[in-house]
Copies of this chain bind each other. A is one copy, B any other.
């Protein structure tokens, strides 16, 4: 179980010298390649060191242990996703109108989490912290702002939780794995929900 409570917000993180940043990025890219081809289970301090062509000690000095490495990998992936919806191209980013951004957000989140599924499942926080993790808070703030723009008379804070919960990574994994639901059907469910709300609003 890795700790996702401290998933940093975008732009946070320790200040590292440029060469340390490059070394760190190189190790994370090696870990990401392993995860993409063999799943998170294939990520060990040894396998990442071998993939990056460095000694195991280099990986240990940078990330401490395997949990630290998985955590860093998840942070990296989360920051890319946050950049996409906060400042990326439309329809996800700020150049699209709020309704289009809201419509695009669910499938983008679903695809992002599907691409990193075993990392996210490994990082699932305990119930008491599930909704307090920074990554969830960033997503909620974003979705609530879009809801507020599209449905000014709705309780945006509550409705944003509903929308996010509808694509909860554990729920979607359950639907896909145990009920044979296609990811496309889950995405269509988000679009249908947003369309019903927005058309009426």
B residues near A193, Cβ cutoff 8 Å: 159, 162
The answer to whether A196 and B192 touch (CB under 8 A), given A132-B174, A174-B130, is no
Per DSSP, chain A at the interface is helix
User: In whole angstroms, what is the CA distance A115 to B131 when docked?
Assistant: 21
Shortest distance between the CB of A152 and any CB in chain B (Å):
13
Q: Are B171 and A131 in contact (CB under 8 A)?
A: yes
Q: Are B155 and A161 in contact (CB under 8 A)?
A: no
Q: Are B196 and A158 in contact (CB under 8 A)?
A: no
A61 contacts partner chain B, Cβ-Cβ < 8 Å? no
Shortest distance between the CB of A1 and any CB in chain B (Å):
10
Stretch of A23-31, A81-89, A91-99, A182-190 lying at the B interface: A182-190
A175 contacts partner chain B, Cβ-Cβ < 8 Å? yes
A170 contacts partner chain B, Cβ-Cβ < 8 Å? yes
**B-contact bits for A146-166, CB 8 A (1 contact / 0 none):** 000000001101110110011
A38 contacts partner chain B, Cβ-Cβ < 8 Å? no
User: In whole angstroms, what is the CA distance A29 to B8 when docked?
Assistant: 47
A178 contacts partner chain B, Cβ-Cβ < 8 Å? yes
A199 contacts partner chain B, Cβ-Cβ < 8 Å? yes
Q: Are A127 and B196 in contact (CB under 8 A)?
A: no
**B-contact bits for A94-137, CB 8 A (1 contact / 0 none):** 00000000000000000000000000010010011011100000
| CB nearest to A201 among chain B residues | B196
Pick from B158, B189, B197, B201: contact of A186, CB under 8 Å:
B158
Pick from B155, B165, B189: contact of A185, CB under 8 Å:
B155
Q: Are A166 and B162 in contact (CB under 8 A)?
A: yes
User: In whole angstroms, what is the CA distance A179 to B185 when docked?
Assistant: 33
Pick from B124, B127, B170, B189: contact of A155, CB under 8 Å:
B189
